Structures are given as structure tokens and as C-alpha cells.
Amino acid sequence: MTEDRTPPTAAAYGMTPREAGERAAAVLAEVRTAVVGKPRPLGMVMLGILAGGHVLIEDLPGLGKTLLARSFATALGLDFRRIQFTPDLLPSDVTGAPFYDQRTADMVFRPGPVFTHLLLADEINRTPPKTQASLLEAMAESQVSIDGSTRPLPDPFVVIATANPIEYEGTYSLPEAQLDRFLLRVRMGYLTPEQETGMLRARVARAAPEAVLRTLGNPGELMAMRAAVEQVEVDDDLLAYVVALVGATRAHQHIQVGASPRGGLALVQLARARAVLDLRDYVTPEDVKDVAVAALAHRVTLKPELWVRQIDADDVVAEIVRSVAAPQTLPRSPVAS
């Protein structure tokens, strides 16, 4: 009798928000043994994965973006594939393509690296827009359509894309439609001198290029954690607050194109995920404020003259968050146990 190796489904776990938050905290702690000195970016990536979205990490090369993605895949027990985006990469290199099998005289589909649980799209803005667009359907609908056939992707499916700053040589701008598919954008930033010293000390101490991480979960468990996020309550006044924030991006004097309705959905889901990570089953205004810049800044287009003044979208959205009045919301239910 063969052993059944099918991973458990989300229903098999039946997690509460508190249990999901505890599992997520354990995963974060494990990842932090490999990625040193980046608590805020790591926490935001965990929120994006919990909320069921895709993550864009934008920063200069060499700041640990690739290590971060691989570490989350290992700790969460997800299949991992990496695509190095280059100017000559073709769409079929991402999604796969049919080929002629001489042995059977049939056309056989060969899946591309997109058929995985966690896909690292490394330096996504180094490839032309046509190849970038090959990920649009996969990110939006967890499927790819090739030669009239639609093929579902594994569940869960997460894209962590890294991008160099647009001023960096050899980059292409990501289309607004693709930017909108990312639930949030994260920036890594340089380590402080103390953190960089700690990173070097940890490297010398372990006598190996990278830390060896434990696998703490599996795809079914991650789906259960996402299902727990859906149990988190959001009061009507908080939904109105989210709408006010998104609306303010459309009316701001420095913004040419404001956030889409998808921005409001992202803001709500990220706020719910933050509540779970804080072991709560209700959202507070602080949850919304904390994730607003990451959820909305990449969805707005600033007026061209702001490039000269060196004002970026993060600054403008942060100003909006400070200016829009937040509701005084009290929890309606006790913390789930």
C-alpha cells in the first residue's frame, strides 16, 4: 500500500486568528536567523503572504532580497523557483510552452518556473514589458492560458518580485497594471553599522555561506493561516476610513493618478493580516495606518515635476495618512483563543 503524500488541506487545520498569528511569528523568527537586521521589511513580507497577495521588493542589489524570498519558502515549506529576468527573456521562459515529443509524435506542454508555490521574480524590471506582462494573468487569477488551454497554478501561489530603482541602468518601468497586482511594496534599505557588524559576526560564527533554516509548515498550513485572516472583523467605520484614505490619493495636489479600488482591498487585507500577527481577531486604526504606505504608494502616479523636487510616493501617502482623521474604534469581540 503506497503512502499518501498529499499535503493536508486548509480545512484540516481549522486555525483561529491567534493560532495563525503564533505560526506566523514562528516563521518570522526562523527567517530572521538568516536575514539579519531587517525586522520591518520581513514583517511586511509576512503580512503580504498571510493576506494572500504578491510582494514587490524594490531596492539596490546586494541588500538580501533574494535571500529573503528563499528563506520564506524554506520556513513555510513551499516549493520554490527563481527566474532571473534579463532583457532577452521570453514569455515562454516564464509560463512554459508546448513542444513536440518525437517519441509519441504529440505536442506536450512543458511547464515553466511559474508552476510553483513561491516564485522569485528576480530583477523583474530588467526585462521588457512584454515578458513582464506574462506574469499578469498568473498573479491575478493563479492560472496561465497558453494555446487556448488554461492551466491552474499550485495553491498557494505567491510571487515575490525584486526590482532595482528605476534610475538604475538597464531597467524598464513596470506598467501600472502590473504594479497594481502587487499587494504591497517593500524597501529593504541599508543596515546600520551595528546591524552590519552583527551580520558579519553571524557569518563568521556559522562557518557557512548561509544559515540552515528549519521547515515549519506546508502549503496546506499556509492556506489555513490565510483562512484565519478571513475571520478577522473590520468595523464599518474602519472601512469608511480606508475609503477616505484611497479617495485622498485621488484628490491630492501632488498625485496625477490615485489608487485604484484594488488599493482599498489590499489595505483591508493587509490590516487584517497585521491584526493576526498581533494575535487579534479585529482590526484597529493603527493596523490600517501601519500598512497604508506599503499598500498604496506604488499604486499612485505623482505629477512629473515632483521628480525634480525629489518627493516620492511614500512621502505623499505618509502625509495623507497623517492628514486623514482616523476613527476611534474599540474591539467588539474578545481575542480569539
Distance CA 300, CA 295 (A): 10
The single-letter code of the amino acid at 251 is: A
Asked if pLDDT for residue 13 goes beyond 70, the answer is no
When pLDDT is cut at 50, 70 and 90, the band that residue 335 belongs to is very low
Distance CA 282, CA 243 (A): 18
Asked if pLDDT for residue 8 goes beyond 80, the answer is no
Query: What mean pLDDT comes out for the span 290-306?
Result: 90
Q: How many CB atoms lie within 10 A of CB 258?
A: 18
pLDDT value, residue 311: 80
Distance CA 108, CA 101 (A): 6
pLDDT value, residue 235: 93
Lowest mean pLDDT among 132-136, 181-185, 243-247, 298-302: 132-136
pLDDT value, residue 336: 43
Q: Cell numbers at residue 15, please?
A: 486555525
Q: What is the pTM of this model?
A: 0.87
Which residues lie closer than 8 Å to 131 by C-beta, 6 or more apart? 85, 89, 90, 91, 93, 94
pLDDT value, residue 11: 53
Query: What mean pLDDT comes out for the span 98-125?
Result: 86
DSSP state of 182: S
Secondary-structure class of domain 10-229 per CATH:
alpha beta
The single-letter code of the amino acid at 225 is: M
Domain ranges of the chain: 10-229, 232-326
pLDDT value, residue 334: 47
DSSP state of 115: S
167 CB-contact burial (10 Å; exposed 0-12 / middle 13-18 / buried 19+): exposed
CATH code for 232-326? 1.10.8.80
Indicate the average pLDDT of the chain: 86
Strands (E) in 11-95, as ranges, are 55-58, 80-84
pLDDT value, residue 33: 87
Asked if pLDDT for residue 314 goes beyond 50, the answer is yes
When pLDDT is cut at 50, 70 and 90, the band that residue 167 belongs to is low
Query: What mean pLDDT comes out for the span 272-285?
Result: 96
Asked if pLDDT for residue 60 goes beyond 80, the answer is no
pLDDT value, residue 67: 86
Task: Give the strand pairing for 106-111 and 96-101.
Answer: antiparallel
